[in-house]
Structure 1
Amino acid sequence: MSDAKIEQYKIRQEPYYEAVANEVELYEAAYNARMPVMLKGPTGCGKSRFVEYMAWKLGRPLITVACNEDMTASDLVGRFLLDKEGTVWQDGPLTTAARIGAICYLDEVVEARQDTTVVIHPLTDHRRTLPLDKKGEVIEAHEDFQLVISYNPGYQSLMKDLKQSTKQRFGAMDFDYPEAATEANIVARETGVDKAVAEKLVQIAHRARNLKGHGLDEGISTRLLVYAGQLINKGVDPLAACSMTLVRPLTDDPDMRDTLDAAVGTYFG
């Protein structure tokens, strides 16, 4: 594959990421060992940003796949397509990553069907190979290739969880929302709002997260706090900004919305 095609997957600017523990060092060690890595944590807590940051730090191309329940093995591996010259093989993202030595990131992997995720097994053990059954080819993964997957354990069910035969092919790292001071720094840095506003947004999020399992399926994510800060920084009234980004996306239940609106009013009323 040409250098130009490889370059399109490179992260050109340093993504902003604030480490909360030793996750950067742990990931670097895992990459040096070419260990497959599984990132576990709630939605919007920074898993994808972390992978982007590490790909930049390591200077490796990054190919990201947003997994969904309609995704087939061919969507990952590749398929034959018809063009004006006849039938041609088109590599899928997983195959491309294995060929060029990229980090392949399967985001929310449990959304994919289990019969689809089985195709990653030969890449995640001593073989480091990817059989292309339809093409009659076996790819030996580039020495720099690494597979990373993520999922939200809070959403797992009997129907949507990884098989043990898949889980035990990965080293795992737990992610969660940062502690309050760090999260406020992130919100201020990402949005341009002052520290006092960022701290208020984080306090609202902590109130909402305490309601998880008591009327809310999920708490307010760091991502949503950034959305709120961006609107406030654009001159939107904080109450309206928080309603749009912190309350309405989370729930349609009128009572729960009232509870969250009251929490917002406590800090911005």
Structure 2
Amino acid sequence: MRDDLTNRGYLPRRNPAFHVPAAASARSEAAPRAVTDTTGAASPLDAYRVAKEPYYRAVADEIALYEAAYSVRMPMMLKGPTGCGKTRFVEYMAWKLGKPLVTVACNEDMTASDLVGRFLLDANGTRWQDGPLTMAARFGGICYLDEVVEARQDTTVVIHSLTDARRVLPLEKKGEIVEAHPDFQVVISYNPGYQSLMKDLKQSTKQRFGALDFNYPEHEVEAEIVVHESGVGLDAAKKLVHIAEHARNLKGHGLDEGISTRMLIYAGSLISRGVAPLAACRVALVRPITDDPDMRNALDSAVTTYF
């Protein structure tokens, strides 16, 4: 898999000499570099830089694969259940590569203008306001479309010209064609468990992306993450993970979705601040995911087994 990704020739026609600076792959404690536009002036994307290293615990070779994909500016698709670390991974990679991260939370009311921009009225008349996609493409950032299937298909089609060899974004209302900055990349994420015929990506969209699968980590790794993020003790973290594994086995048998790693961190955070484990689990794990009395009783029983 690694050879397939790193050998794929996805260099855009207009800028064949794309590369990742050596310093980016070796980034550790150094502060992120300022972003500049073609004139050398400060970029509007400076506000979107990830200034502090986010905690991310690698579970396989996803970091190396993403770095290889970014080196050829391949658009990437992250697939996995809710709360398993997709967004944190993107934040970590943006920090590691020293690139601004422009995040868009997709929804069914989002229009193409929300992504590319629109004309606005102010005291001086009409002016153009770039949308997040245009801003990332113009100045060189990673544009992350979170839960992209929540957007309408006629909205997401706007990314097509940016996610193939053209790497351009036509602004029809403005009469401008934006050529993507050499550092620009599109990343999308979604939960395959929620997709349907009405909410899925077109094949013409999917085949423009490389893909990484995400899932909940193995028991020991997930406990380590909960300890680090919540401050709870290792013994309690392992018990929380056992409860989550029990709930995940009920997915499709009364639960639409299992307990996520994010929810475990919430529960651990409450416990570390003195909340009784049973109460913390009820508030952070059981009550949010189901209203069915029988299912709540089953999950409450699982909690009492470990606490």
Q: TM-score, with normalisation over the residues of structure 1? A: 0.99
1:212 corresponds in structure 2 to 251
Tell me, in whole angstroms, the C-alpha distance in 2 between the residues paired with 1:182 and 1:13: 23
In the alignment, the residues of structure 2 paired with residue 189 and residue 4 of structure 1 have an alpha-carbon distance, to the nearest angstrom, of 34
Choose which of 37, 42, 57 in structure 1 pairs with 2:76: 37
Task: Find the counterpart in structure 2 of residue 27 from structure 1.
Answer: 66
Q: Which amino acid aligns with 1:134?
A: K
1:101-159 CA-partner distances (Å, limit 9, x unpaired) = 10000000000000000000000000000000000000000000000000000000000
Pairing partner for 2:237 from 198, 202, 205: 198
Taking the TM superposition and a 5 Å limit, the aligned residue runs for 1:59-70 are 59-70=98-109
Q: In 2, distance between residues paired with 1:241 and 1:4?
A: 44
One-letter amino acid of the counterpart of residue 94, structure 1? L
How far did 1:5 drift? 2.6
Find the counterpart in structure 1 of residue 277 from structure 2: 238
- Structure number with the bigger relative contact order (C-alpha 8 A, sep ≥ 6) is 1
Give SS of 2:266's match: helix
Q: 2: CA distance between counterparts of 1:100 and 1:172? A: 25
Structure 1 residue 57 and structure 2 residue 96: aligned? yes
Once residues 295 and 108 of structure 2 are traced to their aligned partners in structure 1, the CA distance between those partners, rounded to angstroms, is 30
**Displacement, 1:27?**
0.1
1:149 paired residue among 188, 192, 198: 188
Amino acid in the other structure paired with 2:51: R
Cα displacement (A) at 1:173 = 0.5
Q: 1:266 Cα deviation (Å)?
A: 0.5
Q: CA deviation at 1:4?
A: 5.7
CA distance in 2: counterparts of 1:233 and 1:68, whole angstroms = 35
- Any gaps of 5 or more consecutive residues in structure 1? none
Instruction: Give the secondary-structure state (helix, strand or coil) at the position aligned to 2:196.
Output: coil
Question: Tell me, which stretches of 5 or more residues in structure 2 are unaligned?
Answer: 1-36
Cross-structure match for 1:257: 296
Map 1:82-97 onto structure 2 (within 5 A): 82-97=121-136
% identical aligned pairs: 75
Letter in 2 for 1:107: D
The AA in structure 1 aligned to 2:95 is W
Q: Which residue of 1 aligns with 2:168?
A: 129
In 2: Cα distance, 1:100 partner to 1:232 partner: 44
* Partner SS state of residue 150, structure 1: strand
- Equivalent position SS for 1:3: coil
Aligned counterpart for 2:267 among listed residues 204, 210, 228: 228
Indicate whether 1:111 and 2:150 are aligned.
yes
Secondary structure, aligned partner of 2:288: coil
Partner SS state of residue 48, structure 2: coil
Shift of residue 7 of structure 1?
1.7
Structure 1 position 100, deviation (Å): 1.1
User: 1:71 and 2:110 equivalent?
Assistant: yes
Task: Give the aligned residue type for 2:240.
Answer: L
Q: Could you tell me how far apart the structure 2 residues matched to 1:240 and 1:259 are?
A: 15
Q: Which one-letter code corresponds to 1:192 in the other structure?
A: G
How far apart in 2 are the matches of 1:232 and 1:177? 21
In the TM superposition, residue 3 of structure 1 has moved relative to its aligned partner by 1.8
